[in-house]
Chain A
Amino acid sequence: MAKAFSHTLVVHDDPKAISSEAFRTLRTNLKYISPDAGLRTILFTSAGQGEGKSTVSANLAASMAQTGNRVILVDCDLRKPVVHRFFNAHNSVGLTSILTGQVQLTEAIRKTKCEGLDIITSGPIPPNPAELLQSKAMQTILEQLQAHYDMIVLDAPPVLPVADALILAPYTDGVVFVVAAQEVPKDIALRAKQLIENTNTKILGVVLNRVNLAREGEQYYYNYYSSESKD
């Protein structure tokens, strides 16, 4: 079982927290990776389940919106979707509703408490997620979104258990790979990385999640900073 996460949007709820600072750094890094290539559609994935990719993608999307970008976060994890939980949204209508032709794209887009950030939740969980993501309809959705948003953030399932993220990767400008520090064996992470590279998609970078700050001997430094910033 995955641990019980609190699905909180720290960059919105607590902009001065250490992790909010980390998301801003990530945002900046992504911006400078390829200033000319026009990074528009980014896919977030990980090797296995529960490494925190949804937390990272939701917060990064919110963080990008804070700088005035029009951002949309799409929950492409049609197996264990959680994006709706970060925004206290209901998940009765979403990506699968569009892909099956039940609603129009615009009907499934929802505004959030974060200015500039819209979301599409997964919708009802389908019996055939890979087929749906592979469909022409999915490509069309991404093209339509690219016409309306500066940044499209896709939250995809992990790479090793299912093919979904690898199906989506070629439609994007790059993949951000989230790794839970001290939890994922090196060979597993490398295998996942290889699978992504096989799709000829650029890996933009790796986010090392759940780093134990105390263990790294930096706790004093961070505490010092965070207590000062509250003044």
Chain B
Amino acid sequence: MIDLHTHILPGIDDGAKDMADAVAMARQALERKVAVIAATPHYLNREWTVIKQRHADLEHQLSEQGIDLKVIVGAELFIDPELMEMPREKIPTYNDAGKYCLIEFPMQELPAYTDEVLFALQVKGIIPIIAHPERYRYVAEDPNLVFKWITNGCLIQVNAGSLLGLFGEQAKQTGIILLQHSLVHLLASDAHSTGRRSFCLDKCLAIAQQYVTSEVVDLLVNANPGLVVEGKPIDVDVPEPVQYQPRKRFWLFKIFGGA
């Protein structure tokens, strides 16, 4: 499997603390049938060169210890109007190829400039992959936000941990809704350690297969992330995602309808 959202780089964010930690995570990834990962530390202080250096250090360390895990460089951006002004080559992307970036939003409120930033990235030729939308409060309230982002050209990454219930029932149910409506393109672990938030893609496969076919699950953990690694386009036009139809709450109408 290919896992494009991990916090394996040592001492850079709230992921791996040191190199020993990172190496332990790499071993766990291999044990859990992951062959390729992307290191995507939180990108907050504009340290893309530092991230690339740490990535090179980790690669070196893994090859010294004979750990056969391929790690590509990346970052988890936080949505910020500054991204609109940055030149393309300064924006952290997978493999530093300028094709795909991973971007997260605040948990509670959707910023007013979201669509502008996503558009600005796209006209620079960078396809935004939106990280774990199922965890955002406003997406739980209106999953069709995700439909809009997809029709506007973004891709969607759902956390394996959400489907496992690690982030609560609401994130789990929202994740399932997104899966059922073809609103997901990638599943990833968002691993921070070998402990609670670990490499858990393998564990979520069985859950995902309750809602979509095993062919679709394979797309989400192999084929699609593979295309991102290669910097090739993912065809999301066909079939078009299904827009989420909220269930009608008849009891509400009964109570308030006559007023």
Contacts and interface: CB of A to CB of B under 8 A. Distances in A.
Contact of B125 (A92, A125, A126): A92
Contacts of B152: 124-125
A97 B119 contact: no
Interface in B165-208: none
A127 B125 contact: no
Interface residues of A, number: 18
Contact of B237 (A80, A85, A102, A123): A85
Nearest to B125: A92
A62 B54 CA distance: 53
Contacts of A125: 119, 151-153
Interface in B148-167: 151-153
Contacts of A96: 119, 123
B233 A92 contact: yes
Given A1-B243, A4-B240, A92-B125, A127 B233 contact: no
B116 interface: yes
A91 interface: yes
Interface in B68-85: none
A102 B87 CA distance: 11
Contacts of A97: 123
A91 B123 CA distance: 10
A196 B125 CA distance: 35
Q: Chain A interface secondary structure, helix, strand, loop or mixed? A: loop
A100 interface: yes
A126 B120 CA distance: 8
B115 A127 contact: yes
A162 B240 CA distance: 23
A90 interface: yes
Interface in A1-37: 1, 4
Contacts of B115: 127
Interface string A66-102: 0000000000000010001100001111001100101
B153 A93 contact: no
Contacts of B237: 84-85
Interface in B97-125: 115-116, 119-120, 122-125
A183 B77 CA distance: 46
A123 B119 CA distance: 10
A127 B119 contact: yes
Interface string B204-218: 000000000000000
B139 interface: no
A90 B99 CA distance: 14
Given A92-B125, A97-B123, A102-B123, A124 B240 contact: no
B127 interface: yes
B153 A92 contact: yes
A124 B122 contact: yes
Contacts of B125: 92-93, 102
Contact of A91 (B116, B120, B153, B240): B153
Nearest to B233: A90
Contacts of B119: 96, 124-127
Interface in B222-259: 233, 237, 240, 243
Nearest to B148: A125
A76 B254 CA distance: 45
A92 B124 contact: no
B107 to A, nearest CB: 22
Identify the 7 closest CB pairs spanning chains A and B, nearest first: A124-B122, A127-B115, A125-B152, A102-B123, A100-B123, A97-B123, A126-B119
19 contacts: A1-B243, A85-B237, A90-B233, A91-B153, A92-B122, A92-B127, A96-B119, A96-B123, A102-B123, A123-B123, A124-B152, A124-B153, A125-B119, A125-B151, A125-B152, A126-B119, A127-B115, A127-B116, A127-B119
Interface of A: 1, 4, 80, 84-85, 90-93, 96-97, 100, 102, 123-127
Given A91-B153, A92-B125, A97-B123, 4 more contacts: A1-B243, A92-B233, A102-B123, A125-B119
